[in-house]
Structure 1
Amino acid sequence: MMVCWGSASCNLPGNFHTGAKTTSDRNVTVEDVMILMRTILKNSDKILTFLYGQEYEEIADTFPRLAAEEFIVLMDIRNDGKPETLRQMLSLTKRNSFVLLLDTPDNIVSLFQMMRMAILKTHLTRWILLMEGSDAENSVVRLQEFVNEGTQIVIFVKTSDGHMAHFLPYVDLYGVTQFIDKGNWKSTEELKEIVFKDPQQKPYDLSGRKFKMGVKESYLLIKLGRKFPDGSVELLSGMDVAFINMVTSALNITYKAYIPKDDVWGDGLPNGTATGLIGMVAKREVAFGISVLSISDSRLRVVDFTCPYSSGRYVLMSRSPKQKNRALAVLSPFQLQVWVCITSAVLLMGPVVYSIAYLVNKYVANNGEEIDFLWFHFNMFRNIVNQGNLIEDKSFQVRVVLAFWFLFCVINAALYSGMLTATLAIPAYETPIDSLQDLPRATKEGFTIGTLGGSNYEFIFKTATEGIFKDTWNLFNHEDRSKSFVDNANVGVMKVLSEKFVFITSDNFFRAFQTTFGKGRFHVGQQKLLPTFVGIATPKGSPVTGPFDRVILRLAEGGIIDKVIDDHYRRIPAVPSAKQASESTTSASITLTHLQASFYILSMGTLISAATFLVERMTFRHITNE
Structure 2
Amino acid sequence: MWWCKVLLVSLLGFEFAQTYKHIQYPEPRNVSLVAVALSEIINGLRPGSVTILALNNSLSEDIDDFICKIHELHFKSCIFSDLEKYFNFIESTISGSAQSWSLIFFEPSELAREIHARNLAHRLALFIFYWGTEKPPKSSTVRFEEPIRAAVITRPRKAAFHVFYNQATPKGKSNLRLVNWYDEESLGLYRTPLLPDSSNVYSNFQGRVFNVPVIHSPPWHFVLYLNQTANSTTNMTTNVPGRKLKVIGGRDHHLLELIANKMNFKFQYVDPRERTQGSSVGSERKSLFTGGLGMIQNREAHFLFGDVGLSWERRKAAEFSFFTLVDSGAFATHAPRRLNEALAVVRPFQANVWPYLILTVLLSGPMFYFVIAMPYFWETEEKAFEEVRRKCSIELYPEYINEITLVKPFKHPRKDQLKKKMPKNLFSKCTWFTVQLFLKQSCSEPYNGMRARFLIIVYWVAATYVLSDVYSAQLTSFFARPARESPIDTLSKLEYAMEYRGYQLFIEKDSSVLEMLENSTEIFRRLYKLMKQRDTKYEGFLINSIEEGIQRISNGAENVILGGRETLYFNIKRYGINNFQLSQQLYTRYSAVAMQIGCPFLESFNKVIIHLFEGGIMDKITNSEYEKMLAVKDLNRGSEGQFKKNENKQKYSVFDSNPQPINLRMLQGAFIILLFGNTLAATILLIEISIYENNIALYVSILNAIRSLYVALRKLAAWLLQWIQQTALPSLHL
TM-score, normalized by length of structure 2?
A: 0.66
Shift of 1:290: 0.9
In 1: Cα distance, 2:689 partner to 2:207 partner: 100
1:443/1:404 CA distance change after superposition, 3 Å: same
Q: Structure 1, residues 182-233: CA drift from partner, whole Å, max 9, x if none?
A: 9999999998479434423556321222221222221232122336444474
Show the counterpart of 1:462: 518
- Residue 620 (structure 1) aligned with residue 692 (structure 2): yes
In 2: Cα distance, 1:233 partner to 1:132 partner: 52
Q: Structure 1, residues 316-360: CA drift from partner, whole Å, max 9, x if none?
A: 322222233343332334413313413422563686589689989
In 1: Cα distance, 2:254 partner to 2:207 partner: 20
Which letter does structure 2 place at the counterpart of 1:74?
A: I
Contact 1:152 1:197 in 2 (8 A): no
Show the counterpart of 2:548: 491
In 2: Cα distance, 1:154 partner to 1:95 partner: 19
Q: Structure 1, residues 125-161: CA drift from partner, whole Å, max 9, x if none?
A: 221134699xx957x53542x6214x431235799x9
Q: What is the correspondence of 1:148-227 to structure 2 with a 5 Å cutoff? A: 148-149=146-147, 151-155=148-152, 168-169=165-166, 175-179=172-176, 192=189, 195-200=194-199, 204-225=203-224, 226=226
Shift of 1:522: 2.0
1:157/1:463 CA distance change after superposition, 3 Å: farther
Show the counterpart of 1:570: 627
- Measured on the aligned residues, the alpha-carbon RMSD in Å equals 4.8
1:537/1:236 CA distance change after superposition, 3 Å: same
Show the counterpart of 2:485: 430
Show the counterpart of 2:392: none
1:306/1:404 CA distance change after superposition, 3 Å: closer
Shift of 1:501: 3.0
Show the counterpart of 1:43: 44
Q: Structure 1, residues 593-622: CA drift from partner, whole Å, max 9, x if none?
A: 532221221121122123213322331342
In 1: Cα distance, 2:510 partner to 2:62 partner: 48
SS at match of 2:666: helix
In 2: Cα distance, 1:597 partner to 1:555 partner: 59
Moved more, 45-54 or 263-272: 263-272
1:554/1:104 CA distance change after superposition, 3 Å: closer
Show the counterpart of 1:25: none
Q: Structure 1, residues 53-81: CA drift from partner, whole Å, max 9, x if none?
A: 59899889968985887622122444499
Contact 2:171 2:205 in 1 (8 A): no
Show the counterpart of 1:24: none
Q: What is the correspondence of 1:71-470 to structure 2 with a 5 Å cutoff? A: 71-79=76-84, 88=91, 91=94, 95-103=98-106, 107-115=110-118, 118=119, 120-130=120-130, 137=137, 141=140, 143-144=142-143, 147-149=145-147, 151-155=148-152, 168-169=165-166, 175-179=172-176, 192=189, 195-200=194-199, 204-225=203-224, 226=226, 228-231=237-240, 233-266=245-278, 271=285, 273=287, 275=289, 276-295=291-310, 299=314, 302-334=317-349, 335-345=353-363, 348=366, 371=425, 377-390=431-444, 402=456, 404-410=458-464, 411-425=466-480, 427-444=482-499, 445-464=501-520, 466=521, 469-470=524-525
SS at match of 2:267: strand
Which letter does structure 1 place at the counterpart of 2:581?
A: H
Show the counterpart of 2:26: none
Shift of 1:112: 2.2
Show the counterpart of 1:13: none
In 2: Cα distance, 1:482 partner to 1:405 partner: 64
Show the counterpart of 1:22: none
Shift of 1:255: 1.3
1:319/1:60 CA distance change after superposition, 3 Å: farther
1:330/1:108 CA distance change after superposition, 3 Å: same
Contact 1:124 1:541 in 2 (8 A): yes
In 2: Cα distance, 1:451 partner to 1:364 partner: 88
Q: Structure 1, residues 453-509: CA drift from partner, whole Å, max 9, x if none?
A: 322223334333x45555555454376674443221101212333333333322321
Which letter does structure 2 place at the counterpart of 1:113?
A: H
Residue among 520, 527, 539 paired with 2:596? 539
In 2: Cα distance, 1:541 partner to 1:220 partner: 29
Q: What is the correspondence of 1:9-48 to structure 2 with a 5 Å cutoff? A: 34=35, 37-46=38-47, 47-48=49-50
Shift of 1:387: 1.4
1:432/1:51 CA distance change after superposition, 3 Å: farther
- Structure 2: gaps spanning 5 or more residues: 1-30, 227-235, 380-415, 638-644, 699-734
Which letter does structure 2 place at the counterpart of 1:570?
A: E
Moved more, 192-201 or 95-104: 192-201
Which letter does structure 2 place at the counterpart of 1:199?
A: S
Which letter does structure 2 place at the counterpart of 1:494?
A: Q
In 2: Cα distance, 1:191 partner to 1:76 partner: 30
In 1: Cα distance, 2:175 partner to 2:45 partner: 27
Residue among 510, 524, 544 paired with 2:582? 524
Q: Structure 1, residues 537-592: CA drift from partner, whole Å, max 9, x if none?
A: 33344344344445445555665443332222112133774347647799722134
Contact 2:546 2:568 in 1 (8 A): no
1:426/1:169 CA distance change after superposition, 3 Å: same
Contact 1:278 1:303 in 2 (8 A): yes
In 2: Cα distance, 1:92 partner to 1:258 partner: 30
Contact 1:153 1:196 in 2 (8 A): no
Shift of 1:176: 3.0
SS at match of 2:437: helix
Which letter does structure 1 place at the counterpart of 2:277?
A: W
1:390/1:219 CA distance change after superposition, 3 Å: same
Greater radius of gyration (CA): 2
In 2: Cα distance, 1:61 partner to 1:41 partner: 13
In 1: Cα distance, 2:63 partner to 2:475 partner: 96
Shift of 1:517: 2.0
Contact 2:149 2:167 in 1 (8 A): no
TM-score, normalized by length of structure 1?
A: 0.76
Aligned residues: 585
Which letter does structure 1 place at the counterpart of 2:498?
A: T
In 2: Cα distance, 1:219 partner to 1:92 partner: 36
SS at match of 1:141: coil
Q: Identity over the aligned pairs, expressed in percent?
A: 17
Shift of 1:99: 0.7
- Residue 594 (structure 1) aligned with residue 666 (structure 2): yes
